[in-house]
Amino acid sequence: MIVPMTEFSMLIFHGDYDAFLPELRKIGVFHIAETNKEDDADQTQRRQMITEINDAIVFLDTHEPESNAPSIDEGQTIPEILEQVKQVKEKLEETVSEELKKTLEQYATTYLPSLQKRKTELEDAYELNRVIKNTQDAAEGKIKILEGFVPRPQKKMFSEFLDSKGIVHIKNRARFSDNPPILLHNNWFSRLFEPIGSLFSLPAYKDLDLTVFFAPFFAMFFGFGMNDAGYGLILLIGATVMKLLGKPKIKKSYLTLVQLLGVITFFFGLLTGNIFGVSIAEFPGLSFSKELFLRDKQIFTLAIAIGFVQILFGMVLQGLNKMIKFGFKYGLPQVGWIMIILHLINMFYFKILPMYSHIDIYIGLALIIFFADPEAGFFKGIGTGIWELFGITGLMGDVLSYIRLFALGVSSAILALVINSIALQIEKVSYIGPVLFLIVLLFGHTLNLFVASLGAFVHTMRLTFVEFYKNAGFTGGGNPYKPFTIVSN
């Protein structure tokens, strides 16, 4: 869900301005509306310095020795330190010697704290100047005007804060045209998928935040593409072990996501009866279960059916979002599309409803043609509507694109099968056969697990961001909510 924003315009007497800014920073919820995005010379310099220091920090961080004996630097200035680090870095590219490593370790312990400190200072200064630069003057500089956004939940608190400081302000609901910043707020389940969504783009303020809606599909598609209960178990166990060991470098929420995907993959593998490339029905005593598992042809149909479901779902979302945010008639073309798609599915596949007439198709067509662009004039609107009808070809492409789920699942299952049969062949080698058997199994399945999960992940991403986002009317390109606050926090 996108957190709604409130727009604040404040009038500040110029004498109070300097004292007011630290207070504003302390409260830390105000996102300034940027009228002037270009950095001036000072700001550019600060930014360059921040990048340079950051590079040095990253470089030194890798060489920091385990025993963190703090030592004091001898009062070098930051440019001096940077120069020293740069020299060592250049030498290191030519030759690697123990001596250089020693120097680096010494540098790391000595300089890192002061570099960190300087970086925070610079970042603070950069932020402060950004706010000053975007403040407008009025009444010959006697009054300063600050405009920006505050999330609606914090509106009351911020308003009280301004009152207590005696600052005149106006608050409004943020409009789409003001380009408000985007802050996402999701429940624990869909929050796991936020990093995936941000790989593509943040939604625009007028869009719907689709994270919660693509999350269940994403998990399901991943399982579909892996198609092996054994691999699901390995993902689950691997992520759990990493979590228990408490690896600091990987975020906990990523591991939870892997655990979740592992569970889904496990259940999907059970649905098709694959475990480490062996069909469950081949186990002794379980041959009766063959009928329970999905056959290849059924998986093929299932993939396409899921495609229809997700695309229709996306259209429902788009229609509802437009109806709520703009007005009822703006969502009608989506209603038309949904009617046409349902009619076609019924006509070609289910054949349940009798074909008395095709009236629903006509209504659907009319909705698309007449309401494609409600703001345009009659003829221009109809022209746009007829153009929109060409979307039917794209729609067919979108649905067929879901075949990839079937092909990915089948190919990962077949490769697992291949690894097993190679291992069985190699077991016949005398004496060391069993050892080789284990090595082939271990190595082969690790490789296949890597390739299959990469493929399943990437293709699921594509289905989400191309097919689903397109049909859900996602425009994207929102800028993230960055409140004016103290950087070191």
Partner 1 sequence: MTNLLIAYTGLALMIILPGIGSAIGVSIGANATIGALKKKPDGFGNYMLLSALSGTHGLFGFAAFFIFYSKGIFIPAISPLAASAVFAAGAIFVVATYAAIRQGQICANGIAEIASGNDVFGKTMILAVFPELYSILAFAAAFLISNKL
Q: Which residues bind partner 1 (CB under 8 A)?
A: 58, 198-200, 296-297, 300, 401, 403-404, 406-408, 410-411, 414-415, 417-418, 451, 454-455, 458-459, 461-462, 465-466
**Structural contact between residues 184 and 196, judged by C-beta atoms closer than 8 angstroms:** no
Distances (CA, A) of 249 to 97, 192, 245, 450: 28, 17, 11, 20
Of 3 and 407, the one with the shorter C-beta distance to partner 1 is: 407
Looking at residue 429, its amino acid is V
Of 368 and 405, the one with the shorter C-beta distance to partner 1 is: 405
Distance CA 210, CA 466 (A): 13
**End-to-end Cα distance, the chain:** 25
Supply φ then ψ for residue 435, to 5 degrees.
-65, -50
Q: Smallest gap, in angstroms, from Cβ of residue 56 to partner 1? A: 13
Which DSSP symbol is given to 376? S
Distance CA 314, CA 394 (A): 15
Six-digit token pair at 419? Answer: 């690894």
Chain centroid offset of residue 379 CA: 40
Distance CA 256, CA 189 (A): 10
Of 92 and 132, the one with the shorter C-beta distance to partner 1 is: 92
Q: Smallest gap, in angstroms, from Cβ of residue 204 to partner 1? A: 17
Of 77 and 198, the one with the shorter C-beta distance to partner 1 is: 198
What are residue 7's DSSP bridge partners? 149, 172
Of 204 and 417, the one with the shorter C-beta distance to partner 1 is: 417
Of 143 and 422, the one with the shorter C-beta distance to partner 1 is: 422
Burial 279-302 (b: 16+ CB within 10 A, else e): bbeeeeeeeeeeeebbeeeebbeb
Q: Smallest gap, in angstroms, from Cβ of residue 160 to partner 1? A: 38
Of 134 and 479, the one with the shorter C-beta distance to partner 1 is: 479
Distance CA 193, CA 199 (A): 10
**Structural contact between residues 110 and 34, judged by C-beta atoms closer than 8 angstroms:** no
Q: Smallest gap, in angstroms, from Cβ of residue 372 to partner 1? A: 27
Distance CA 65, CA 124 (A): 29
Q: Smallest gap, in angstroms, from Cβ of residue 199 to partner 1? A: 3
Of 290 and 351, the one with the shorter C-beta distance to partner 1 is: 290
Q: Smallest gap, in angstroms, from Cβ of residue 431 to partner 1? A: 29
In three-state secondary structure terms, 36 is: coil
Which DSSP symbol is given to 464? I
